Structure 1
Amino acid sequence: MYRIAIVDDDAGQCAGLHDMLRELIPAELDCGIDMYASLGELDGQQVDIVFADICLADGENAIEEVMQLFSDRPAVQVIYVTGHVEYCSAVYDTRHIGFLVKPVRRQELADAFHRALNRLCDLREQPFAVRFNNTSYVVRPAQVMYVESKLRVAVFHCENNGTVRTYMKLSDVAERLPSRFHRCHSSYLVNFDFVNAITKNDFVLTDGTHVPISHLRPHRYHAPLSAVRHNQ
């Protein structure tokens, strides 16, 4: 799941951007959109993409706030939105992936949004390290078939019967993995690249493993079926 934050002290502008983004989100992609009046409200919040108006209430400057909030969170994709084109140079003091001028045009919004999604996808494809019992292990998302949560331990089930364990909530694991991983159960994430079939109660993986489904929502799982493997 990707978490999107829209930050604008103008409720009408915020709602308009929200509606346009809703139309742009692919049907198979699980995205949550939250609206805020200031960047300070994002402190400590999990977020993947931020659409930030530069000039906010009480003299708040989003450029300065972004530098403070996300300097140690390089995965957060920042897209500035402003009615003041004079800031087009100042924003380069911060890491960002887009600069949109109000009134925002749908195509320009779509281009910036898809750049952010592609960047996030690339980042989440990268191997990452986890620790378990004083040992570090590398998780390679492309090799993970599904993830199972047992008590407080996340178990990554990989190809060729390999497993990697770490102490991590399943919700936090989901934030580290590409969008093709879907949470189909309170204790399971499944990688659609390894799904052969979907029944009423479970996913059947390429190695014959059955991963349970506890809250199947057909509209979410219909689109990725084109990518489901069929080994005849």
Structure 2
Amino acid sequence: MRGHRMIIGVCDDDRSWCDTAAGVISGYVEKLGYNVEVTSFNNGDDVLNWQGQPWDVMFMDIELGEEKNGISVAGELNKRFPGCQIVFLTNYLFYAVDIFQTQHTYFVLKEQLEERLPEVFDKIMHQLEQSGKKLIFSASWGRQIIVRLSDMYYLERELRYTTVHTSWGDFQIKEKLDELMGDLPENEFSRCHHSYIIYFPAIREKKKNSYVLENGKEIIISRSYMKQTNEDWMKWALLQMS
């Protein structure tokens, strides 16, 4: 994974401490050989209103000085960005029990942040390796967009562009669906229509003539792709039971 980009957020209501922590974290991750993008936030609402790519890691202060504390914000992040690892930051040990209300990777006292970063990132890297593959798409303006498989929904071809639909937003690429199918992980994607490639793990329900995604979107299965996508579905379903 060295050389890949890591997206990190730091949220703390103390602006000065937040910026300092962001600098320390960024410097450490760069020494590990990663390209890193660190964004600072000073309240939970800005974190929850984020419209960009999901973070790999969010360093979250527990006491945010507002109605929503860091634990409740982290709980909402667990739902919205399940692939984002949470590292709780605090000045007080008595929060150690409360954090188990959420899925998190680590709990660190602020005064120990710099010295604990090696063990924190050892665990983060292990979790990232276990969380599955990422796809890299070439988008407009020379951008390389990295998408976790766990964030994928489906791909849709319309006119001269293909739209990649994810849990955090959509973007367009030029590659045709035929070209993309050869590069996508085997057994997880299926062409179900002239205009659609579906990602099986994102499906909530399979009907006779359509797939219903976790976000409620219904994707039609066309006659010409019915036999192949049904076979693909059965192969994938059997793998889930093995």
TM class, shorter-chain normalised?
A: 0.5 to 0.7
- CA distance in structure 2 between the aligned counterparts of 1:152 and 1:44, rounded to whole angstroms: 32
Residue equivalent to 1:30? 35
Aligned pairs, number: 151
Deviations 1:88-140 (A, max 9, x none): 01101110000001213423122113312321232133876764679xxxxxx
Residue equivalent to 1:150? 174
- CA distance in structure 2 between the aligned counterparts of 1:94 and 1:77, rounded to whole angstroms: 11
| CA 12–41 in structure 1, closer or farther in 2 if over 3 Å, else same | same
Runs of 4 or more, structure 1, over 4 Å off, are: 126-134, 151-154, 156-159, 164-168
Residue equivalent to 1:108? 116
Deviations 1:48-83 (A, max 9, x none): 210000001234311112112322432110000000
| CA 51–155 in structure 1, closer or farther in 2 if over 3 Å, else same | same
Secondary structure in 1 aligned to 2:34? coil
With normalisation by structure 1, the TM-score equals: 0.54
Residue equivalent to 2:46? 41
Once superposed, what is the RMSD of the aligned Cα atoms?
3.4
Structure having greater relative contact order (Cα 8 Å, sep ≥ 6): 1
Equivalent in 92, 115, 118 of residue 126 of structure 2? 118
- CA distance in structure 1 between the aligned counterparts of 2:113 and 2:89, rounded to whole angstroms: 11
| CA 26–57 in structure 1, closer or farther in 2 if over 3 Å, else same | same
Identity rate, percent: 17
Q: CA deviation at 1:157?
A: 4.7
User: Retained in 2: the 8 A contact 1:132–1:165?
Assistant: no
Q: CA deviation at 1:9?
A: 0.9
| CA 21–132 in structure 1, closer or farther in 2 if over 3 Å, else same | closer
- CA distance in structure 2 between the aligned counterparts of 1:69 and 1:132, rounded to whole angstroms: 25
Q: Which runs of 5+ in 2 are unaligned?
A: 135-148, 158-172, 197-242
User: Retained in 1: the 8 A contact 2:26–2:37?
Assistant: no
